[in-house]
Amino acid sequence: MRSIKILSNPCTGSHRNKFREWKLDLKFINGLDDMEKEYDVIVAGSGAGGATVAREMAQNGKRVLMLEKGGYIKRVGNTMSAALMSNRFGYTRSREKTWVVSAVNYGGTSNLAAGCAVPPPKTVFDPLGIDLMKEADKAKEEMWIGKLPDELVGEANLRIVEAANDLGYNWGKFEKFIDPEKCMPDCSSCMLGCSKGAKWTARIYGNEAIESGTELILHTRIDRVLVENGKAIGVEGKRWGKKVRYYGKVVVLSAAMGNIPVLRRSGIEEAGRGFACDYLQFVGGISENINTLKANPMSVGTMEHYESDGFVIMPVFHGWGTFATHLNFMGPKYLPRFFKFWKYTGIMVKIRDEIDGEIYADGTFSKPISGDDRRKLNKGVDIIKKVLRKVGCRDDSILVMDPMGAHPSASCRIGEVVDKNLETKIKNLFCCDSSVLPSALGLPLVWTLVSLGKRLSKHLCVVTH
């Protein structure tokens, strides 16, 4: 057993606003006897969905093993830590060369989220007969979800809201899963991993799962599910090049795109046939009056176009590292723009893209941008340009970045690959992450994934009774 110290926030209770040090035992299983131990639940992936299931099940007295392909980057909040937490250091691209963001580290992509909190959209889940209201309300209490005060939102964001509303749009504040007592003014490092402990991440639930008895094993890649008589009985993979097997009554895959190769090897060929990635476009402009360099990302914006046109708009822009990377992807002629990075005011449009493309058994993927996707992006970009002009950005300064994928999702869709209880056609094999979404959300996902994890856990408490 190896003991490490993790700095984290408590999740609930009277000590909510105190920064404390937890000493957590991360149990690394190496011997044959340990690998033959049977768990009630094996969770493969430690992101928002997986960590929620591990926490809920452990707190209900179940024996839980949580496996994570990545490691544990402790010092977060900078460009290097964000790169180290990202899959392939952030260079994940489709066969069409479109950049798609994903993470491989303890806590998953929640580490890189902006902290913007949008509840599970009823328009997506009501047609399936899935009600996540109770789970979403409970998550809201635990994740410190609320709107930030003006001084944390930032003057630049507030001026953008004023400009947009002057143009006749309906902009305002978004809720965020950020503790305002820990958040600092003029800090925009949410998407680099919050070094202040102000932003909720899946590590918080993961830590609580470990305190309740969950065993966490890092650097473990799952290759296939062990199946006997049509039931999942465990998983097989590698850790540091060594073959490992772990046995459990229930297996929950929570690795998003990483689920697909595992499911394909298990005979579920429909997994990965079409998926979404919430395409987005960043648009930046230079004004003498403001810039969003130190503005709290995605703390304001509008959803007025969501139902009618399938997109949302929020002020946010690249950090310097991802800005340089994206310019490089766009071509050498754009690289001189990097030297004006510090002056940009940035706004993003994010869309509900069509289910298309494929994630292949080797983990590579294809995701074309459809004509409808382009239409949505273009409409959003046009609105952003109007707002940027209103805040004083010159036309010749406005830079429209190439589209990129924000949230790989809907590759194991409810009703197609998993049922309403998130179970596959292999009994006791479940998925719980962005892959189960029935369609693109075009919204921040974390609150929805936590809600799905809580809902699944209620079902699993019955299954593992």
In 3-state terms, the chain is what percent helix, strand and coil (to 5)?
A: 35, 25, 40
Both structure tokens of 252: 């929950």
* pLDDT above 50 for 13: no
Query: Boundaries of CATH 3.50.50.60 in the chain?
Result: 2-87+104-139+198-271+410-463
Cα angle vertex 166, ends 163, 167, to 5°?
Answer: 95
Is residue 236 within a helix (H) or strand (E), and if so which, with residue range?
strand 231-239
Helix axes 48-59, 202-211, angle to 10 degrees: 30
pLDDT of residue 97: 87
For residues 101 and 273, what is the distance between their CA atoms, to the nearest angstrom?
Answer: 19
Mean pLDDT of 99-107: 88
pLDDT of residue 35: 67
Average model confidence (pLDDT) across the chain: 90
Identify the band that residue 80 occupies on the pLDDT scale cut at 50, 70 and 90. Answer: confident
Identify the band that residue 10 occupies on the pLDDT scale cut at 50, 70 and 90. Answer: very low
Q: What percent of the chain has pLDDT over 70?
A: 92
DSSP 8-class letter at 205:
H
CA distance between the termini of the chain = 29
Helix (H, G, I), strand (E, B) or coil at 403: coil
Q: Which of 3.30.410, 3.40.50, 1.10.1760, 3.90.1580 would CATH assign to domain 146-194+275-405?
A: 3.30.410
Residue holding tokens 């990075």? 341
Phi, psi values for residue 224, rounded to 5° = -160, 160
pLDDT of residue 93: 85
pLDDT of residue 25: 40
For residues 443 and 277, what is the distance between their CA atoms, to the nearest angstrom?
Answer: 11
For residues 195 and 189, what is the distance between their CA atoms, to the nearest angstrom?
Answer: 8
Query: Boundaries of CATH 3.30.410 in the chain?
Result: 146-194+275-405
* pLDDT above 60 for 459: yes
**pLDDT 10s digits, 134-179:** 999 999 999 999 999 999 999 999 999 999 999 999 999 999 999 9
**pLDDT 10s digits, 341-397:** 999 999 999 999 999 999 999 989 999 999 999 999 999 999 999 999 999 999 999
For residues 340 and 281, what is the distance between their CA atoms, to the nearest angstrom?
Answer: 19
Q: For the beta carbon of residue 166, count every other beta carbon within 10 angstroms.
A: 12
Identify the band that residue 26 occupies on the pLDDT scale cut at 50, 70 and 90. Answer: very low
Both structure tokens of 425: 């056609």
pLDDT of residue 34: 57
Sequence-separated (6 or more) residues with CB below 8 Å from residue 318: 282, 326, 341, 346, 401
**pLDDT 10s digits, 176-196:** 999 999 999 988 888 888 889
CB neighbour class for 258 (10 Å; exposed up to 12, middle 13-18, buried from 19): buried
Is residue 351 within a helix (H) or strand (E), and if so which, with residue range?
strand 344-351
Both structure tokens of 309: 């046109």
**pLDDT 10s digits, 275-330:** 999 999 999 999 998 999 999 999 999 999 999 999 999 999 998 888 998 999 99
* pLDDT above 80 for 87: no
Q: For the beta carbon of residue 334, count every other beta carbon within 10 angstroms.
A: 15
**pLDDT 10s digits, 195-224:** 899 999 999 999 999 999 999 999 999 999
From the centroid of its chain, how far is CA 241?
A: 28
For residues 222 and 237, what is the distance between their CA atoms, to the nearest angstrom?
Answer: 4
Both structure tokens of 314: 């929020």
From the centroid of its chain, how far is CA 131?
A: 21
Looking at the DSSP bridge assignments, the partners of residue 184 are none
Give the number of residues written for the chain.
Answer: 465
Residue whose C-alpha is closest to residue 58's, from 463, 461, 446: 461
Phi, psi values for residue 250, rounded to 5° = -135, 140
pLDDT of residue 420: 97
Whole-prediction pTM value?
0.91
pLDDT of residue 4: 35
Mean pLDDT of 426-447: 97
Class of domain 2-87+104-139+198-271+410-463 (CATH, top level) = alpha beta
Looking at the DSSP bridge assignments, the partners of residue 423 are 430
Sequence-separated (6 or more) residues with CB below 8 Å from residue 295: 153, 154, 155, 156, 157, 188, 315
Mean pLDDT of 60-74: 95
pLDDT of residue 144: 92
For residues 278 and 98, what is the distance between their CA atoms, to the nearest angstrom?
Answer: 12
Phi, psi values for residue 225, rounded to 5° = -95, 135
